[in-house]
Amino acid sequence: MWRILGLACAASLLCLGQAQAVTPDSDPLLDTPTSASAERQARGVLRARNQAVLSSELAGRITEMPFADGQDFKKGDVLVRFDCSAYQAQLNAAQAAAQAAREELVHNKQLAALNSVGRFEVALAEARQAKAAAETQVYQVQVKRCSVPAPFTGRVVQRKVQPHESVAGGAPLLEVVDNSTLEVHLLVPSAWLSWLKPGQHFDFVPDETGQALQVEVKRLGARIDEGSQTLLLIGNLPADAKGLLAGMSGTARFAAQP
């Protein structure tokens, strides 16, 4: 009987020792990385710094649009040309009137030197000459607006109108973009401000290419969105990045933070 009790006590002490050996430090669930040290991800999109929707500065009929959707152009190329015959005729008339006003002013000054006319006539001639010169400048500006030059080197995204159509002043003509000025735009949680700073690097993988790009944080947004508690992040693409287009989306991956 005493032998049986001794065996039971020994078994109890062994179980107790095993129970004390299992500590929280050896729990395998606690050995997994926490969310604070895990890799952080965010979705983003590529946007061009140089992009615009060009509009008409005057009302008229379009005579020429040399570049179609998807075609490349260089800075200064004429993208849209209007029928300018009426504005050119007005400019010619204004230039002729300005020439007549100049001749009249010269003639009056010569007569004034001979005391044949007074200062009043000379002043009126000067005013008419200034008015004619101002009208000439107005028509020169209108004639200049008959063609729409490219503001930068880029590509036509979409034509809003077609040749031979008549448009009103301010009507959109075509959308253009410069894909050589792409940036990464992300919306990241505002809590990341505790460790996210300009100059840091992260990987951005466009869905369309699948190739990881090393991107540098260029600047952060000026305001946090109150509803979603997110902040705009803008990153610079590497100089050797090729084959990218505005509008591509992808995933940004930030290294784990302690």
What confidence score (pLDDT) does residue 37 get?
52
**SS3 (DSSP) at 31:** helix
- What CATH number is given for 35-49+179-254 in this structure? 2.40.30.170
Q: At what angle do helices 119-144 and 85-113 cross, to 10 degrees?
A: 160
Q: What's the CATH class of domain 51-79+149-177?
A: mainly beta
Q: What is the DSSP letter of 39?
A: P
pTM of the model: 0.71
pLDDT in tens, 35-81: 445 778 999 999 999 999 999 998 999 999 999 999 999 999 999 99
- What CATH number is given for 85-144 in this structure? 1.10.287.470
What confidence score (pLDDT) does residue 77 get?
96
Q: Can you give the residue ranges of every domain in the chain?
A: 35-49+179-254, 51-79+149-177, 85-144
Contacts of 117 (CB under 8 A, 6+ apart): 108, 111
pLDDT in tens, 116-133: 778 888 888 889 889 999
* 9 φ/ψ sector (left φ>0, alpha ψ -120 to 50, else beta): alpha
Which residue, chain included where needed, has tokens 């009137």? 97
